[in-house]
Chains A and B, each alone.
Chain A
Amino acid sequence: MNIRIVLMVVYLLSAVHVIAQSVSPSVKDLDFAMVAEQFNTCNDKREPMTFLSGCSIAGDDELLRKNPIEIMFNPIAKVDREDCLLMRWDPVLRAWKKFPGNRLNNTFEGRNAYWSAVVDASGHYALMKEIANHGSTQLLIPGGYAAEEWKYVQPNLGIVCEGFSTTRTIAVPVMNLSPLAQISLKFRKNGEPVSVLSGLYVGQVVKDVWKDPDAINGSYELSLTTSK
């Protein structure tokens, strides 16, 4: 009898705890590695931007509307505040979008200056800098293959681009492909299963991608090349 009461109390307490956890908003860091893995750095026009920093806010939107959170950034050296925007991730478009009040203000805490904006909805937020010169570079995979999904990650510039293709051509929306950039691909040869490669560099030769069913002892080489 007593054990039942104790178990019920424990259950109730844990339920209250879970409810409190689920309702109370929380803020978590969002760094470039997470963005490279789960998101991209493109706006809703599919133009890449430079990711500077970010955070993720989870919780009840009604509560957040009543209790907006001020997001503050330490000013970044050699970056003009006017060139930066706080943007919200749109999971449907898979792009970062502007939202009302996303312009950064100059605020002071004592004598320390910060860039700040106020957010009142849950989601992923990133401080982005627009890139002045947009361009496009073709990335070719070997003939006979089709790239289905691709992701281009350039950590030195904070750029992550992604897309889909039905051909061997991948149009990366950057002026120049960096030798530091990493590429991940889902690709296939006609009639063959999808293969996944990650951590590739432009120009890298990849051997032994998979065994060709018709040439049991043979292997394919995959090299990524660029053409403007």
Chain B
Amino acid sequence: MRYVKSVFLSVTFCLLASVVFAYAAHVDIGEALKRKIIRYQAVKSSSGLDITVTNLLHDSVYVEIGSGWIFPTADESMQPQVVSRSHMICLAEGEERRARLLTLCGNAPGRTVPQGYAEFLKPVLGKSDMVATLRELEPYKMDRKCIIQNIVWHYTNGHTMANFHPGNTGIDEYLTAMHVFQANEPDVVDPGYRIRYRESLHPEESVFTGASEEIEGHVSIKVNAATNCTVALLDQNGMLLKPLKYVNDQQPGEYSLSFKSYVLDLPKGNYSVAVFDKEGKTLGALPVEI
């Protein structure tokens, strides 16, 4: 009986120890730094961060750097780096390893971090909504696509869905990203148009130029009698700036007409895209902010 009891206690202890061991061995970067399990250094590279992690534990350790972790810069005017794809670094006792983290810009108007920059502060976990969205997008491997950067700027800079331009994103990937984003953010309203900003001279960097180059979207109209329609961009006072489209003999019904307009020549402000019939009556309008 005594023998059985000691065996039982031994097994229980082993199980408990294995749980404790497993907990200690598999940590995220925040926990690892808090518990001083690791030491690290991050250096900006061409497509992210080169991170060198040293295991300080007298045991092997698995350090997870999940998507949504932000590496702030010591200089606040520079762009913090947001991890866009989770990375697991396995380290043996005392081992040092280097890994490449894929990152995105975490502050749209911030200055680009030059390659070799190493003054990163202790990483912090981003907003839970951003983390959830990025984690759900991870399996689609769209890290390098514009839409993922736009989603990050939604969380870090308050960009609206109007800034979610597909850019270099294929239509299927774009729709997937939008689907995941909207599932996580059901309260965010789609304004019905998208703004394409002028691209940076260095496309490999996540630079937000802030210069609106083109808007595209859809405006809904209701036509009661067949008419010719003009889709036009109007200024804040309702003055016609640019006719965008002319539809001959539009039949009665409800329609959603697409539009696209070059806007780099317009100052930032509030505008609208409206549809007029041949008598000048407004059939539908969509406010747009450039």
Contact with A along B191-202 (1 / 0, CB 8 A): 000000000000
Partner of B228, one of A24, A55, A63, A114: A55
Q: Which residues of chain A are within 8 angstroms of B257 by Cβ–Cβ distance?
A: 109
A26 engages B240 (CB within 8 Å): yes
Q: B262 at interface (Cβ–Cβ under 8 A)?
A: yes
- Expressed in whole angstroms, the Cα–Cα distance for A69 and B278 within the complex equals 17
Residue pairs across A and B with CB atoms within 8 Å: the count is 58
Q: Which residues of chain A are within 8 angstroms of B251 by Cβ–Cβ distance?
A: 74
Looking at B51-59, B85-93, B173-181, B242-250, the stretch in contact with chain A turns out to be B242-250
Contact with B along A118-130 (1 / 0, CB 8 A): 0000000001000
- Expressed in whole angstroms, the Cα–Cα distance for A72 and B260 within the complex equals 14
Q: Which residues of chain B are within 8 angstroms of A63 by Cβ–Cβ distance?
A: 242
Q: A53 at interface (Cβ–Cβ under 8 A)?
A: yes
Do A74 and B242 contact each other (CB < 8 Å), given the known contacts A27-B230, A109-B255, A109-B256? no
- Expressed in whole angstroms, the Cα–Cα distance for A70 and B246 within the complex equals 6
- Expressed in whole angstroms, the Cα–Cα distance for A26 and B244 within the complex equals 10
Q: Which residues of chain A are within 8 angstroms of B256 by Cβ–Cβ distance?
A: 109-110
Q: A20 at interface (Cβ–Cβ under 8 A)?
A: yes
- Expressed in whole angstroms, the Cα–Cα distance for A109 and B248 within the complex equals 14
Interface size on B, residues (CB 8 A): 23
Contact with B along A142-154 (1 / 0, CB 8 A): 0000000000000
Q: Which residues of chain B are within 8 angstroms of A72 by Cβ–Cβ distance?
A: 245-248
Interface size on A, residues (CB 8 A): 23
- Expressed in whole angstroms, the Cα–Cα distance for A112 and B278 within the complex equals 20
Q: Which residues of chain B are within 8 angstroms of A24 by Cβ–Cβ distance?
A: 239-242
How many whole Å from B260's CB to the nearest CB in chain A? 8
- Expressed in whole angstroms, the Cα–Cα distance for A74 and B244 within the complex equals 17
Q: Which residues of chain B are within 8 angstroms of A127 by Cβ–Cβ distance?
A: 248
A29 engages B247 (CB within 8 Å): no
- Expressed in whole angstroms, the Cα–Cα distance for A67 and B243 within the complex equals 8
B244 engages A69 (CB within 8 Å): yes
Q: B204 at interface (Cβ–Cβ under 8 A)?
A: no
Contact with B along A2-32 (1 / 0, CB 8 A): 0000000000000000001000111101000
With both beta carbons as reference points, the residue of chain B lying nearest to A74 in the complex is identified as B249
- Expressed in whole angstroms, the Cα–Cα distance for A71 and B245 within the complex equals 6
> Which of A29, A63, A72, A110 neighbours the largest number of chain B CB atoms within 10 Å of its CB?
A72
Partner of A69, one of B240, B245, B258: B245
A70 engages B250 (CB within 8 Å): no
Q: Which residues of chain B are within 8 angstroms of A67 by Cβ–Cβ distance?
A: 242, 244, 261-262
- Expressed in whole angstroms, the Cα–Cα distance for A55 and B227 within the complex equals 13
> Which of B228, B251, B278 neighbours the largest number of chain A CB atoms within 10 Å of its CB?
B228
Q: Which residues of chain A are within 8 angstroms of B240 by Cβ–Cβ distance?
A: 24, 26
Contact with B along A87-115 (1 / 0, CB 8 A): 00000000000000000000001101010
B246 engages A109 (CB within 8 Å): no
Do A20 and B239 contact each other (CB < 8 Å), given the known contacts A27-B230, A67-B261, A110-B255? yes
Q: Which residues of chain B are within 8 angstroms of A55 by Cβ–Cβ distance?
A: 228, 246, 248
How many whole Å from A104's CB to the nearest CB in chain B? 12
Partner of B244, one of A29, A70, A73, A110: A70
Q: B265 at interface (Cβ–Cβ under 8 A)?
A: yes
Do A71 and B242 contact each other (CB < 8 Å), given the known contacts A55-B228, A66-B265, A109-B255? no
A66 engages B246 (CB within 8 Å): no
Q: Which residues of chain B are within 8 angstroms of A109 by Cβ–Cβ distance?
A: 255-258
> Which of B239, B244, B247 neighbours the largest number of chain A CB atoms within 10 Å of its CB?
B247
Pairs A–B under 8 Å by Cβ, sample size 25: A20-B239, A26-B243, A27-B243, A27-B246, A29-B228, A29-B278, A55-B248, A57-B243, A63-B242, A67-B244, A69-B244, A69-B245, A69-B246, A70-B244, A70-B246, A71-B245, A71-B248, A72-B247, A72-B248, A73-B249, A74-B248, A109-B256, A110-B256, A112-B255, A114-B247
Those 8 A-B pairs whose CB atoms lie nearest each other, nearest first: A74-B249, A70-B245, A73-B248, A72-B247, A27-B246, A27-B243, A67-B242, A53-B248
Question: Which positions in B face A, CB cutoff 8 Å?
Answer: 228, 230, 239-251, 255-258, 261-262, 265, 278
Given A57-B243, A70-B246, A110-B255: 10 more A-B contacts, CB < 8 Å: A24-B239, A26-B240, A55-B228, A67-B242, A70-B245, A71-B248, A72-B245, A72-B246, A72-B247, A112-B255
